[in-house]
Structure 1
Amino acid sequence: MSELLRLDNLRKVFHVRASAGEPAGELVAVDNVSFTLPPGGSLAVVGESGSGKTMVARMVAGLETPTSGAIVLDGSPVEAARAGRGARKARARRMQMVFQDPYTSLDPKQTIEAAIEELLRAHFSWDADRRRERVAQLLDQVGLDRRQGGARPRALSGGQRQRAAIARALALQPRLLILDEAVAALDVSVQAQIINLLADLRAETGVAYLFISHDLGVVRQVSHDCVVMHRGRVVEAGRTATVLDDPQDPYTQALLSAVPRPGWVPRRRVGAQQPTAPQEVGG
């Protein structure tokens, strides 16, 4: 199978200055990470906060420069620091990113329609009628109507803003969409709607997903393959169902054991005040 995205021994090291009596040193955020993603595929990078998963996403997106290693997207290397304007525009047409908080990635002074049209104007020499037609198509694809398209971000709900961010990310018909905790800030019912939308969009457009998440329940629903990261390293990788149903690495096993299951009751902390009356579980 051909490769859309390939990471070879990706490494990111930060140099830490000496302070408060501590000597200078190095912080290894990402350590020799390698994986591939096929065209139209869906791969999740899983781990706790500080595992390095978001740094991997930022390097793939060209927002951070690797200390060493290589990122190849659609046959071309991703080079953050040395990329000129033309190279950045070409990369934007192949790859887009959807962030956890869409409010920070959308201009609060622009309507959703204007934000999408601005992107189209920057990349295509289309007339106004064709841009408006494409904007209407994108809004319909993500389940937004004309009224919502004409609104500013603050007038929309969290789920609607995330739909708008997805529409804008799809405007240039990229081959890869990086979703960095894209449903983590949403209510559970809205999460389910966005997950279903993402599945429909991938089937409709053939776009590939690189999904960054700490939520194993979400990962199971959105990805065919997954990579588990711990302290900057890949500790386990494979088909999502296999990794989550039969984890081999102790860290993956620990992640799964921490997921609440049906009937789960939180343990009372040692020294916590005892309830004055029996408490019902549920509600």
Structure 2
Amino acid sequence: MTAAAPERAAPLLDVHGLTKRYPTRQGEVTACEDIGFRIAPGGALALVGESGAGKSTVVRLIAGLEKPTSGQIRLHGQHTGDRPRGRSARLARAAAVQIVHQDPYSSLDPRQPIGDGLAELLRLHAGRLAGGLGERSARRDRVTGLLDTVGLPGLADARPARLSGGQRQRVAIARALALEPEILLLDEAVAALDVSVQAQILNLLADLRERTGTTLLFVTHDLAVVRQLCQEAVVMRGGRVVEAGPVGRVLTAPQHPYTQALLDSVPRPGWRPRRISPPV
């Protein structure tokens, strides 16, 4: 008698047929078309491709910052286009998916100490977060814990202008984690950082995922980041998916010439740049 195969965990995020077109005077421009992938709870998936591939558009659609032209985005099997009922449900939906941008400075109030900004966010969502955050002292303690978690102890009174780029990125991650999201979207979140700070942020994200089970969707063009942080990779070009699969397979035995060209463009001893031809 053959043993039954174990059932695969239901995906946390299921993207199917996702398409976004923008109207222009000359007609429609397609930013992404027929995008599909799944991420299991606690998983880490990379969207890979050169600038203009449509990666950031996909992330903005998943975050709810824009509406798709067609296709579906499901979280725990529920279509995210379904309007939640009630304030509590709307706040929970908004908090479930959090995004960290490449440059978080514009999302931080330059006049507000970072600790006050975190406390304000916790107050708004106190009704759905664990830990009895209705009291100011409880929120203050949570802020201290969040800043300790991202490696910024003692900086609650600092304003964004006093912080380095890497520190501001840590603040952005702390803001996202404050809402206990189910999935964290990182849109080129380490691209602008120097190598040493980038390594610190990646180690922080890997540790957070291991300890909290937060699911990660990482947008990047850096294949070294993909190897270090992610389990699955989706390669995009010209707004479409050209290859997808486990990171180990995609980066060692690519099936599509574009993926191979991306790998060939990574500097190494004796490396010569290889031109990537435009998509047909």
TM-score past 0.5 threshold: yes
In structure 2, the partner of 1:48 is 50
The unaligned stretches of length 5 or more in structure 2 are 1-8, 128-133, 275-280
CA distance in structure 2 between the partners assigned to 1:38 and 1:265 by the alignment = 38
1:142 is aligned, of 139, 147, 150, to 150
Sequence identity (%): 58
In structure 2, the partner of 1:128 is 136
2:113 is aligned, of 107, 111, 114, to 111
* 1:258 aligns to 2:265 (yes or no): yes
Q: CA deviation at 1:78?
A: 2.0
CA distance in structure 2 between the partners assigned to 1:11 and 1:84 by the alignment = 26
CA distance in structure 1 between the partners assigned to 2:73 and 2:31 by the alignment = 16
1:80-122 CA-to-partner distances (Å, cap 9, x unmatched) read: 9x67883542222211111101211211111110111111011
In structure 2, the partner of 1:241 is 248
Aligned length: 259
CA distance in structure 2 between the partners assigned to 1:220 and 1:85 by the alignment = 41
Q: CA deviation at 1:14?
A: 1.3
Q: CA deviation at 1:197?
A: 0.5
Matches within 5 A, 1:1-283: 1-17=9-25, 24-79=26-81, 86=87, 88-125=90-127, 126-146=134-154, 148-264=155-271
Q: CA deviation at 1:43?
A: 0.3
CA distance in structure 2 between the partners assigned to 1:224 and 1:66 by the alignment = 26
AA in 1 matched with 2:79: P
CA distance in structure 2 between the partners assigned to 1:26 and 1:84 by the alignment = 34
Pair 260,2 (structure 1): closer, same or farther in 2 beyond 3 Å? same
CA distance in structure 1 between the partners assigned to 2:184 and 2:247 by the alignment = 19
8 Å Cα contact 2:234/2:244 also seen in 1: yes
Q: TM-score, normalised by structure 1?
A: 0.87
1:47-73 CA-to-partner distances (Å, cap 9, x unmatched) read: 111111100000000001000000011
In structure 2, the partner of 1:21 is none
AA in 2 matched with 1:42: A
Q: TM-score, normalised by structure 2?
A: 0.88
The unaligned stretches of length 5 or more in structure 1 are 18-23, 268-283
The secondary structure found in structure 2 opposite 1:103 is helix
8 Å Cα contact 1:99/1:182 also seen in 2: yes
